[in-house]
Chains A and B, each alone.
Chain A
Amino acid sequence: MIIDRSKKPLPEDEIAFKIPYISEFTLDNGLRVLFIKKDTLPIIRMSLVVNAGSKFDPPNKKGLANLLAFLIDEGAGKFNALELSDEFELLGTSFSVSCAQDKISLTVQTLKENLVKSLELFNLVITQPKLDLSDFEREKRRAFTKLLQYKDNPAAVAESVFDSLVFNEFHPYSSKVLGTESGVKNIEHTNVIDFYDKLFVPFNSTLVAAGNLESEELLDILNSTLGRWQSKTKQPPLQISASTGAKGIYIVNKENAVQSEIIIGYQTAALNLNNYYSLFLLNMILGGQFSSRINLNLREEKGITYGASSNFDYYQHGGKFSVSTSVSVGDTHLAVTEILKELNLIRIGITDDELTFSKTSKIRLYPAGFETYPHLTGKLFNMVTHSFPMDFYETYTAKISEVKLNEVNLAAANEFNTDKLCIVIVSDRDKLVKSLKPLDSFSIHEVDHEGNPVSNF
C-alpha cells in the first residue's frame, strides 16, 4: 500500500481532561494543607514549604537559610544524623531538603505501606531537629567548600553575578542561596537556631501533598503528627528595600574559558495575574521553547550555540527577565547583538500565527503537567509562593485562550526596553576584549565572581 505522506495527519476528537480537585484545610495549630488525591500508584509525596528562604538572610550573614537547610536533617529526636538517614532508607522512602530564595522545602516521597512511619520521621525532622554544634560546624565547612566549587561553574557564576547586579546589594534576592564567603564565615551556631525558632512555625508554613489516599485519611495522620507542632514566636515581616538594577556590560574573567556564558536581562515586578498570561505567551515566542525566535536564530540559523532561551523568573516579592546562552568566545559579540536585535524586534509586535501556535501548544500540553506526584506537589508549591487563587489551575487554559494579540503586543512594547539591560559575560577576559566591539550606550565593567567591581580594568 502506498500512502500519501504529504499531508500532516489530523488529530482525532479532542480529549477530555479534568483538572484534579485541590482540597484545602487548616490544622488546629494553624498549618495550612493543600492536597490532591491521585490513585494511580501507591505513592504519597509531600513537602513542608516553610517561608524561610535566603531572602531572610541578614546582610552580613548571607547563606544562613541554606545552612539551616543543610543542618536540619543532621539528626532529630533520638536519632543522630547517620541513624536518621538509615531510618528513611530502611523504609525505601526518599527524603530531601532544599533551600531557595523564598522557601525551605522538606520533601518526602513514600510508598503507601510506609506512610505512617515515614510521616513520623518527617515530623521529627521538622519539629525536633537536633541542630547540634558539631553538626553545625561540619555543615558550615561543607557550605564553605561548596562556595569554592561554585567558582568553577561558569553558568552558576553568570547567574549569581547577574542577580547581584539586577537586584542591588540590599535587596533580598541579590545574593545566591548558598551565600557569600564572608557571609558564611560570619554565621554562628546560635544564628541558625534563632532562624529556625523564628521561622519554622506552623502559620509560616504550608504542607503540600499528593497521594493515593483520601483527604480525611491524611487529616487523621497529620493530626497526630504535624498537627501537634507548636508555634514558638511570631515571624517578623520581611523588609523589601526598593532597588534599581545595574545596566551595562559586566565581564567576569575566567582564564582559559573556551566559551562565554552570557546572561542579558533586568529586574521585573513579582508575578501579577493581570499580565502573567500575556507575558508567558510572549516569552514562548521570544525564547521560551525550542522553536522560539531566539533559539532558531542563534542555533538553527547561525549555529553559534547549543541552545539559547529566555525566561521570566518570578519570586514571591520580585522577579527577573533574562536571556541566556553560551557561545565560543569569538562569537560573543554576534550573540549579544543578535539577542538585542530580537528584543528590539519583538517590541514591534508578534504575528497572529505565532500567538496561535503558542496558545495551542500550551493548552494542549496542559494535561501532561499533571502526570506525576512531583508535578502535583510542584503545582501546589507554586500556588503557595505566588498566592494563586484556588481556581488558578482550573481556569488556566481558559485564561490562556482569552489572551488577545493587541494585549501581547502592548506588553511587548512596554516590557522590553534595551536601554535598561544588564549584560553579564563569564569568559576569558583577554580573548573576549579583543573580539568585543563597542555596543551603543553600554559601558563595560569588570567584576569578580561575586559581582564586586575589579578596579584595575
Chain B
Amino acid sequence: MKNIIDINYEKFKLSNGLEVILYENAALPLAAVNIWYKAGSANDKKELTGMAHLFEHMMFQGSLNVPKEMHFKYIQEAGGTLNGSTNFDRTNYYEKLPANFLELALWLESDRMGFLIPTLTQEKLNNQIEVVKNERLERYDNQPYGLAWEIILKNLYPEGHPYRSPVIGYLENISSITLDDVKEFFQKYYAPSNASLVIAGNIKKEKTKELVEKYFAEIKSNTFTQLISPPPVQLDKNIIIHRKENVQLERIYFAWHTVKAFEKEDAALDILADILSGSKNSRLYKSIVFEKEIAQDVFASHFGGKYAGYFVIVSTAKPGKSLGEIKNEIFSELNKIQKEGVNEKELLKSKNGIKSSFIFSMQNIDSIANQLNYYNYFLNEPNYFQADLARYESVSSDLIRNILSNFLNKPYEELRISPDKVK
C-alpha cells in the first residue's frame, strides 16, 4: 500500500533558477504540466488588492508568439484541458494533454513566462478587468453569505498582514489597476527563479529534459526578492460582527488563529475538523444537526498557509432556531474535548478516511503534478506523500487537547449573518 504513494521523481534546476520536477507514469497516454509561481494575493500591494489574480487572467491573453485567444485554442485543439488558479501564497497554471503534444504546452508556458510584456495592451487589460469584476459579482457579491470570508479575513488579520484581503480583490482596487502595475508585477514575480515546473505522466525523461532546456533555459531571471514579514496575529478580545443580508436563514461563523502549513499542530487541526463535522456521527453534526435539529448544517475546517493559519466553524440555523443555542452547543463540545480528549474510534475513523483519500487522490495525473509542486513549495521535497500521511497517523488525543487549550480557548472572531427582514 505504501509504495502507491511513493512518487519516484527527478528534480533539477536550470541555470536561470527554474526548478523542474519530472515524474513518469505511463498509466494513460497523457502528460500534465503544472507551474507554480511563488506569488499570490499575499504579494498584492495594499491599494492593489486582486492584482495577483488579475495577473493570472492576463497570462491567458496571448504572448509574443501566441495571439490573443490562441493559448486556450491551441491546447484545446490538441485535446488538452487547461486553467490556472490564484490563492494567498501562489499562482498556478496547468495543462493536461495527450502526451505527444507535450512540446506544445512547454512552448506556450515558456512563451508567457518569458515574453508576455511586449503584447500587453490597455484593451486586453480593460477587457479582463471587466471579466474579473463580473467574476467577483457572480462568485461573491451575488451569492448568499458571499462576502462572509472577506469580512472574516479583514477582521481577523491586522493592517499590513498578507492574508487580510480577499484573493479576488475589492472592486475599486481591481478597476484601478494600470498597465504599468501589471508590468511591474510580472517583472517582480514571473521569473524562472521564482517558479517550479512539474511535468508528469507518459513522458520520457531525457527527451523532456531537452525540451525544458530548449524552451526555458534562455528566459532571463531577475534578482528581485520580496521578504514578507507579517505582523504578529493575536486577538486580545473576541470580535463580534453582525450583518444583515437578503438570505433566508441565519448563519454563524467562528474563526481562531492557528498555525502555518506543516507546523506541528497543522495535521491535528485537520483531524479535529473531521471529528467535529466530517460525518453524520461527528461531534457537532450529531449534536446540533442530527439530534437537536437546531442547525441545518455545520462545517469545521482548518487552513494552513505560508504566513498564517486559521480554524473555522460555520453553522446555519434551522428556521426559528437561535444562533445563541448553536453557539452554546459548539462551545460545550469544544470544552468537552479539551477536558476529555477524543476517543480511539474517532481517531481511527478520521485516519482511515485520510489514508483512503491519499490513495484516491492518485487517480488524476494532474492532481499528482499539483501536489508535487505543493510539497516542493512548502518543504522543498516533492515526494512527501508518505511522510504527510504519517503526520496524520501520529496525531493523538493529547495533541488535540493541546490544540483546544492553545488555540481554540483563545479570543475568536464571530460573524453572524441574519435575514434583512422578517420572512
**Count of A interface residues, CB-CB < 8 Å:** 81
Query: In the complex, which residues of chain A have a beta carbon less than 8 angstroms from the beta carbon of B316?
Result: 149
- Nearest-neighbor residue (CB-CB) of A138 within chain B: B293
Known: A8-B107, A360-B77. A367 touches B293 (CB 8 A): no
The reply on A290 being an interface residue by CB < 8 A is yes
Known: A1-B218, A5-B64, A303-B127. A92 touches B281 (CB 8 A): no
A-contact 0/1 string along B257-300, CB 8 Å cutoff:
00000000000000000000001110000100010010010000
Given contacts A16-B29, A301-B127, A368-B28, 20 further A-B contacts (CB under 8 A): A1-B218, A8-B107, A11-B78, A11-B98, A42-B1, A85-B281, A90-B348, A152-B248, A289-B76, A291-B72, A306-B131, A326-B137, A326-B142, A364-B79, A364-B80, A366-B79, A367-B98, A368-B30, A371-B28, A371-B365
Docked complex: A28-55 residues within 8 A CB-CB of B:
40-43
Query: In the complex, which residues of chain B have a beta carbon less than 8 angstroms from the beta carbon of A109?
Result: 360
Query: In the complex, which residues of chain B have a beta carbon less than 8 angstroms from the beta carbon of A290?
Result: 72, 76
- Nearest-neighbor residue (CB-CB) of B106 within chain A: A9
Q: Could you give 17 example pairs across A and B, Cβ below 8 Å?
A: A9-B103, A9-B104, A11-B100, A11-B103, A11-B104, A82-B281, A138-B290, A141-B293, A259-B134, A290-B76, A300-B131, A302-B130, A303-B126, A303-B131, A326-B138, A357-B73, A361-B78
Instruction: Tell me if B214 and A3 are in contact (CB < 8 A).
Output: yes
Closest-CB distance, B115 to chain A (whole angstroms): 7
Query: In the complex, which residues of chain B have a beta carbon less than 8 angstroms from the beta carbon of A17?
Result: 28-29
- Nearest-neighbor residue (CB-CB) of A326 within chain B: B138
The reply on A238 being an interface residue by CB < 8 A is no
Closest-CB distance, B346 to chain A (whole angstroms): 10
The reply on B15 being an interface residue by CB < 8 A is no
Instruction: Tell me if B77 and A92 are in contact (CB < 8 A).
Output: no
Query: In the complex, which residues of chain A have a beta carbon less than 8 angstroms from the beta carbon of B137?
Result: 258-259, 326, 328
Instruction: Tell me if B352 and A89 are in contact (CB < 8 A).
Output: yes
Interface pairs A-B: 10 shortest CB-CB: A364-B79, A303-B130, A92-B356, A152-B144, A92-B352, A85-B280, A306-B135, A15-B29, A372-B363, A9-B103
The reply on B4 being an interface residue by CB < 8 A is yes
Question: In the bound complex, how far is the Cα of B81 from the Cα of A362, in angstroms?
Answer: 11
The reply on B141 being an interface residue by CB < 8 A is yes
Question: In the bound complex, how far is the Cα of B353 from the Cα of A373, in angstroms?
Answer: 18
Known: A9-B104, A148-B319, A361-B77. A90 touches B111 (CB 8 A): no
Closest-CB distance, A17 to chain B (whole angstroms): 6
Question: In the bound complex, how far is the Cα of B28 from the Cα of A40, in angstroms?
Answer: 10
The reply on B164 being an interface residue by CB < 8 A is no
Query: In the complex, which residues of chain A have a beta carbon less than 8 angstroms from the beta carbon of B312?
Result: none
The reply on A311 being an interface residue by CB < 8 A is no
Question: In the bound complex, how far is the Cα of B130 from the Cα of A96, in angstroms?
Answer: 39
The dominant DSSP class at the A interface is mixed
The reply on A13 being an interface residue by CB < 8 A is yes
Residues of A within 8 A of B (CB): 1-3, 5-6, 8-17, 40-43, 81-83, 85-86, 89-94, 109-111, 113, 138, 141-142, 145-146, 148-149, 151-154, 254-259, 289-291, 296, 299-306, 326-328, 357, 360-368, 370-374
Residues of B within 8 A of A (CB): 1, 4, 27-30, 64-65, 68-69, 72-74, 76-81, 96-104, 107, 110-111, 115, 126-132, 134-135, 137-139, 141-144, 202, 214-215, 217-218, 246-249, 279-281, 286, 290, 293, 296, 316, 318-319, 345, 348-349, 352-357, 359-360, 362-365
Question: In the bound complex, how far is the Cα of B356 from the Cα of A9, in angstroms?
Answer: 40
Instruction: Tell me if A300 and B280 are in contact (CB < 8 A).
Output: no
Query: In the complex, which residues of chain B have a beta carbon less than 8 angstroms from the beta carbon of A82?
Result: 280-281, 286, 290
Name B79's contact: one of A142, A296, A305, A360 (CB within 8 Å). Answer: A360
Known: A16-B29, A149-B296, A371-B365. A89 touches B79 (CB 8 A): no
